[in-house]
Amino acid sequence: MTKGQIEAQISEAISKFEVEHMGRGPERIRTIIFQDMIIIRIKGFLSVSEKNLSQTKEGVELVKRMRTALFENARELLEETIKSVIDVDIISTYSDVSTRTGEKIIAIVADRDIEKII
């Protein structure tokens, strides 16, 4: 498989993961593999209610806390999703949400340089 095909498969798997475990799928998703990192950029994943809550500082904090808790509860499943596409061990996984732009970034660090093994 090419790097682009692997990135596309990861995007598809993460999109499915978002629907099944986070409650809503993204409008757009893009995955980039760079050395030992997998960067996933997700756009348009906030619900209408979350967008409305994000109009105040307290609402932003609530949405971020909720999304962080959901992500942490499903972290192992997310890592297994990545491993089902590419056979690497995951060292660490990070995620952050922007309620202003409606984007989420997931950064995954693998145990080896992925670009060298594909």
In the predicted model, is pLDDT for residue 10 greater than 90?
Answer: yes
Model pLDDT for residues 41-60, shown as the tens digit of each residue: 999 999 999 999 999 999 99
pLDDT of residue 118: 87
> DSSP 3-state assignment of 43?
strand
Task: Report the alpha-carbon distance of residue 27 to residue 8 in Å, rounded.
Answer: 15
At residue 21, the pLDDT reads 83
Rounded Cα distance, 26 and 103, in Å: 9
What is residue 22's predicted lDDT score, i.e. its pLDDT?
Answer: 80
For residue 2, pLDDT beyond 90: yes
> Cα(57)–Cα(81) distance, rounded to whole angstroms?
33
pLDDT score, position 56: 96
> Rounded to the nearest 5°, which phi and psi values hold at 42?
-115, 130
Structure tokens at 14: 């993460």
Which of 14-23, 41-50, 54-63, 87-96 comes out lowest in average pLDDT? 14-23
Q: What would the mean pLDDT of 112-117 be, rounded to a whole number?
A: 96
As a whole number of angstroms, the distance between CA 89 and CA 112 comes to 8
Residue 27: which residues within 8 A CB-CB, separation 6 or more? Answer: 43, 44, 45
Around Cβ 50, how many Cβ atoms within 10 Å? 21
Say how far apart CA 115 and CA 35 lie, in whole Å.
Answer: 5
* Contact of 42 with 29, CB cutoff 8 Å: yes
Question: What's the mean pLDDT when you consider all of the chain?
Answer: 94
